[in-house]
Amino acid sequence: MNMDSYILSSIIILSVITVSIIISSNLGVGTIAGFIISGIIIGPNTPGPIATTDIEGIQNIADFGVVLFLFTLGLEMKPRQLWTMRKTILLQGFGQVILTALTFSLLGQLIGVSWEVGLIIGAILSQSSTAVVMTILREKEEFKSATGKNIFSNLMAQDMSIVPIMALIPIVAHHQKTSGDSFLNSIIIIIGLVISIFVIARYILPTGLRVTALNNNREGFALSLFLFILITTFLCRKSGVSETLGAFLLGMFLSNSDFRVMLEEVVSPLKRILMGLFFLSVGMTINPEILFSNAANILAWLLVTIFIKFGIFTLLSIIDGKGLLIGMKTGLALSQVGELAFVLLGIATTSGVINSDNAAIGFIIVSISMIITPWVNSLGNMVEKYIPQK
C-alpha cells in the first residue's frame, strides 16, 4: 500500500469515527458507543472500502490505554482510601462474582449444561467493564459520588478475581489437578508482585523522575514513567495477575508523590487516544453474520445476564448498608460484561471448556452489552426520581 492509499484510508476511518461520535453524542450516549459502532463499520466483518483485519494487533496496542486509564485512577486513590472500601470489596465485589457464577451454574444445569461449565460461564459474565463504566463516571463527574465509589469498589474486586478464575478454567477442563502447593505458590507470587510494584513506586521510579525533573528533561521524565508502567505490566502478565490491577496499584502507590500532577499530565493525552482505539477494537470483533443468525439466542443471554447481575448487585448493596438507590444505580452501571471477559473466553476456548462457536457468540454478547451500557446506566437517573437517597 503506497502513501496515497494510507492517507485515503486514514481519511475514511477518521470520517467514520467523527460522524459516529457526533451522532452518538447527540443521542446522549457519549463517545463510547460511537467508537464501537465505528469499529463495526471499518472492521473485517462488514463490507465497505476499508477492511481492517489485524484486530489482535490493534487490541494489544489499545489494551495499554486501559492500563494507563487505571494508572491515572490509582493516582487519585490513596492506600488509606482503598482500605476504607475493604468491606464493600469483599461483600459486594467478590460476593457478586461468586453469586453470579453459582447462579449460572444452576441455570446451566436447567438447560442441560454441566454445572462446571455453567460456573465458568457465570464467572466470565460476572466481569464488568472498567473502561466503559469509569469513562462514563468521568464524563458525568460522578466518580467521587457515593454511587461512584461503590461502583469503583466492585470493579476493583472483579479485577482481583481474575487470578482465581484463570486458575479455575483449566481445572474444570481437567487439564490439571488442584493442589495446596500450587495455590500457595500463587499466593506467594501475588504477594511478591505487590511488593515489587511498591518498591518500584516508592523508591526506583521516583529516583528517576527526580533526576529528570531537576534537569528539566521532560522527555526523560515521560520515558522513565512509561518504562516502569511497561515493566509493571510485564510482571503482571508473568504472574497471571490483571494488568489493570497492577497499573492501578502502581498509580495508588504514587498518589502521595510530589510528581503526581506531572504524571497525570504526561499520561492523559496518550491515554485518551488509546482508549478510543480500545473501544474501536471492541466494535471490530462483532461479526454481523453471527449476530443475525443467532439473534434470539444472543438477545436471551444478554437479557438474562443483565437482569441477574442487576439483581445481585442491588441485593448485595442493600446488605452492605448502601441502600436501595445506590444498589440499583450500581446494578444498572455494572450489568454489562467487560473487556476482561474477552481474555477469559479465549482461555476457556483454548482449554476446551467452551467451543469456538459459543465463544464467538460470547464475544458478541460482551460487545453489545458494552455498547448499550450508556443507555442502561442512564436509567439510574430515572430511578433516582422515584427512590429517595438514603
353 pLDDT band, cuts 50/70/90, is confident
Q: Are 95 and 317 in contact (CB under 8 A)?
A: no
pLDDT at 178 over 50: no
343: pLDDT strictly greater than 80: no
Residue 36's nearest CA partner among 10, 62, 6 is: 62
Please report which confidence band the pLDDT of residue 1 belongs to, taking 50, 70 and 90 as the band edges. Answer: low
Domain ranges of the chain: 1-53, 56-386
**Residue 92, pLDDT score:** 94
Distance of CA 109 to the CA centre of its chain: 29
Closest to 329 in 3D by CA, of 91, 161, 158, 142: 142
pLDDT at 261: 84
* Domain 56-386, CATH number (from 3.20.20.70, 1.10.10.10, 1.10.730.10, 1.20.1530.20): 1.20.1530.20
Residue range 250-263: mean pLDDT, rounded: 86
Q: For residue 297, how far is the Cα from the chain centroid?
A: 24
For the segment 58-88, what is each residue's pLDDT rounded down to a tens digit?
777 777 887 887 788 788 777 777 788 889 9
- What does the pLDDT read at residue 106? 94
Among the residues of the chain, which ranges form H helices? 3-26, 30-42, 55-75, 79-84, 86-88, 95-110, 115-125, 130-139, 146-172, 180-199, 205-214, 218-239, 243-253, 260-284, 288-293, 295-319, 324-333, 340-351, 356-371, 373-386
Confidence of residue 176 (pLDDT cuts 50, 70, 90): very low
* Selection from 6, 69, 61 nearest residue 32 by Cα: 69
Query: What pLDDT is recorded for position 2?
Result: 62
Q: Tell me, what's the pLDDT at 96?
A: 95
pLDDT of residue 102: 95
153 alpha carbon, distance to own chain's centre? 13
Read off the pTM.
0.74
CA atoms of 310 and 332, how far apart (whole Å):
6
Specify the pLDDT at position 29: 60
Question: What integer best gives the mean pLDDT of the chain?
Answer: 83
Most confident by average pLDDT, 21-25, 140-144, 218-222? 218-222
**Maximum distance among all alpha carbons in the chain?**
67
- Lowest average pLDDT, out of 23-37, 95-109, 312-326, 352-366, goes to 23-37
Task: Give the model's confidence band at 50: pLDDT under 50 very low, under 70 low, under 90 confident, else very high.
Answer: low
Cβ atoms of 119 and 101 closer than 8 Å: yes
What tens digit of pLDDT does each residue of 99-125 get?
A: 999 999 999 889 888 888 899 999 999
